[in-house]
Amino acid sequence: MVAKAHRVLPGFGLALGYTLVYLSLLILLPLGGMILKASELGFGQIIDIALGERSLAAFRVTFGASFVAATVNAFFGLIVAWILVRYTFPGKRFVDALVDLPFALPTAVAGITLATLYAGNGWLGQFIEPLGFKVAYTPVGIVVALTFITLPFVVRTLQPVIEDIETEVEEAAASLGASRWQTFVKVIFPAIFPALLTGFALAFARAVGEYGSVIFIAGNLPLISEITPLLIISKLEQYDVLGATALAVVMLALSFILLLAVNVLQWWTANRHKNSEPLEVAAAKASGGAA
Amino acid sequence: MNKISHSLSALLLSLVASAVLADVSLLNASYDVARDVYKDFNPLFQKHWKAKTGETLELKQSHGGSTKQVRAVADGLEADVVTMNQANDIEFLAEKGLVAKDWTRKFPNNASPYTSTMVFIVRKGNPKAIKDWNDIAAPGVQMIIPHPKNTGNGRNTYLSAWAWALKQPGGNDAKAQEFLGRLLKNAPLFAAGGRDATTTFMQRKMGDVLITFESEAEMIAKEFGKGEFEVVYPSLTMQTEFPVALVEKVVDKKGTRKQAQAYLEFLWSKEGQENAAQNYLRPRDAELLKKYAASFPPVKTFTVDEVFGGANKAFATHFKDGGSFDQIYQSK
Q: Establish if A26 belongs to a structural domain.
A: no
Q: How many CB atoms lie within 10 A of CB A87?
A: 8
Q: How many CB atoms lie within 10 A of CB B51?
A: 8
Which residue among A52, A116, A221 sits closest to B189, beta carbon to beta carbon? A221
For residue B1, what pLDDT band results from cuts at 50, 70 and 90?
very low
Q: Establish if A133 belongs to a structural domain.
A: no
Chain B residues whose CB is inside 8 A of the A112 CB are 196, 199
Q: Is A229 on the interface with B (CB under 8 A)?
A: no
For residue B126, what pLDDT band results from cuts at 50, 70 and 90?
very high
CB contact under 8 A, A119 and B204: yes
Residue B84 CB contacts under 8 Å (≥ 6 apart), including other chains: B30, B31, B66, B69, B70, B90, B242, B243, B244
Q: Is A122 on the interface with B (CB under 8 A)?
A: yes
CB contact under 8 A, A238 and B320: yes
B243 and B110 Cβ atoms separated by less than 8 Å: yes
Which three-class secondary structure state does DSSP give residue B74? helix
CB contact under 8 A, B199 and A112: yes
Instruction: Give span(s): CATH 3.40.190.10, chain B.
Output: 2-113+242-291, 116-240+300-328
Which domain covers residue A165, as residue numbers? Answer: 47-107+147-212+225-286
Q: What is the C-alpha separation between A275 and A282, in angstroms, rounded?
A: 12
The pLDDT of A20-27, averaged and rounded, is 92
Chain A residues whose CB is inside 8 A of the B188 CB are 137, 219
CB contact under 8 A, B150 and A239: no
Per-residue pLDDT at A55 exceeds 60: yes
Q: What per-residue confidence (pLDDT) applies to A1? A: 47
Q: What per-residue confidence (pLDDT) applies to A246? A: 93
- Tell me what percent of the residues of chain B surpass a pLDDT of 90: 76
CB contact under 8 A, A215 and B192: yes
Per-residue pLDDT at B8 exceeds 60: no
For residue A282, what pLDDT band results from cuts at 50, 70 and 90?
low
Distance between B154 CA and the closest CA of chain A, angstroms: 13
Q: Establish if A139 belongs to a structural domain.
A: no
Structural domain total, chain A: 1
CA dihedral B35, B280, A113, A95 (to 10 degrees): -50
A74 and A265 Cβ atoms separated by less than 8 Å: no
The pLDDT of B67-83, averaged and rounded, is 92
The closest of B201, B224, B223 to B212, measured between CA atoms, is: B201
Per-residue pLDDT at B16 exceeds 60: no
Angle between helices A189-209 and A241-276 (to 10 degrees): 180
DSSP state of B22: -
Architecture of domain B116-240+300-328: 3-Layer(aba) Sandwich (3.40)
Task: Please report, for residues A114, A201, A210, B255, the alpha-carbon distance to residue A149 in angstroms, rounded to integers and kept in the order given.
Answer: 11, 14, 8, 48
For residue B41, what pLDDT band results from cuts at 50, 70 and 90?
very high
B143 and B207 Cβ atoms separated by less than 8 Å: yes
Per-residue pLDDT at A16 exceeds 70: yes
Per-residue pLDDT at B332 exceeds 60: no
Helix, strand, coil tally for chain A in percent (to 5): 80, 0, 20
CB contact under 8 A, A236 and B192: no
B37 and B49 Cβ atoms separated by less than 8 Å: no
For chain A, the C-alpha Rg in angstroms (whole number) is 23
Q: What per-residue confidence (pLDDT) applies to A66? A: 96
Distance between A230 CA and the closest CA of chain B, angstroms: 9
Q: What is the C-alpha separation between A184 and A286, in angstroms, rounded?
A: 10
CATH number of the domain that residue A97 is part of:
1.10.3720.10
Give me the total of CB pairs closer than 8 Å, taking one residue from chain A and one from chain B: 67
> How does pLDDT run across A115-153, given as a tens digit for each residue?
999 998 999 999 998 898 899 999 999 999 999 999 999
The helix (H) or strand (E) run that includes residue B82 is strand B81-83
Distance between A279 CA and the closest CA of chain B, angstroms: 51
CB contact under 8 A, B67 and A216: no
Per-residue pLDDT at B179 exceeds 60: yes
The amino acid at A133: F
Which residue among B203, B319, B331 sits closest to A53, beta carbon to beta carbon? B331
Q: What per-residue confidence (pLDDT) applies to B225? A: 86
For residue B67, what pLDDT band results from cuts at 50, 70 and 90?
confident
Q: What per-residue confidence (pLDDT) applies to B109? A: 94
Q: What per-residue confidence (pLDDT) applies to A288? A: 55
Q: What is the C-alpha separation between B178 and B319, in angstroms, rounded?
A: 16
**What number is the ipTM of this complex?**
0.81
Chain A residues whose CB is inside 8 A of the B71 CB are 236, 239
> Which listed CATH number (3.40.190.10, 1.10.10.10, 3.40.50.1820, 3.30.420.40) goes with B2-113+242-291?
3.40.190.10
Per-residue pLDDT at B66 exceeds 90: no
Q: Give chain B's contact residues with A (Cβ, < 8 Å).
A: 67, 71, 92, 147, 149-150, 187-192, 196, 199-200, 203-206, 315, 319-321, 326, 329-331
For residue A8, what pLDDT band results from cuts at 50, 70 and 90?
confident
Q: Establish if A183 belongs to a structural domain.
A: yes
Chain B residues whose CB is inside 8 A of the A120 CB are 204-206
Q: Are strands B143-146 and B190-191 parallel, antiparallel or unpaired?
A: parallel
Strands (E), B113-228: 114-123, 143-146, 190-191, 209-213
A191 and A280 Cβ atoms separated by less than 8 Å: no
Q: What per-residue confidence (pLDDT) applies to A290? A: 44
User: Is the sign of the CA dihedral A171, A172, A175, A176 positive or negative?
Assistant: negative
Q: What is the C-alpha separation between A274 and B2, in angstroms, rounded?
A: 56
DSSP A40-108: TS-HHHHHHHHHSHHHHHHHHHHHHHHHHHHHHHHHHHHHHHHHHHH---TTHHHHHHHHTHHHHS-HH
The pLDDT of B235-239, averaged and rounded, is 97
Q: Is A207 on the interface with B (CB under 8 A)?
A: no
CB contact under 8 A, A220 and B319: no
Per-residue pLDDT at A278 exceeds 60: no
Q: What per-residue confidence (pLDDT) applies to A12? A: 86
Q: Establish if A142 belongs to a structural domain.
A: no
Chain A residues whose CB is inside 8 A of the B204 CB are 115-116, 119-122, 136
Q: Establish if A117 belongs to a structural domain.
A: no
Nearest chain A residue to B197 by CA distance is A216
CB contact under 8 A, B330 and A215: no
Task: Please report, for residues A24, A41, A44, A55, the alpha-carbon distance to residue A36 in angstroms, rounded to integers and kept in the order given.
Answer: 15, 9, 16, 21
The closest of B215, B267, B320, B253 to B82, measured between CA atoms, is: B267
> How does pLDDT run across B18-35, given as a tens digit for each residue?
444 567 899 999 987 777
Query: First vs last Cα of chain A: how many Å apart?
Result: 57
- Tell me what percent of the residues of chain A surpass a pLDDT of 70: 91
Per-residue pLDDT at A172 exceeds 60: yes
Q: Which residues pair with B61 in a beta bridge?
A: B28
Distance between A187 CA and the closest CA of chain B, angstroms: 48
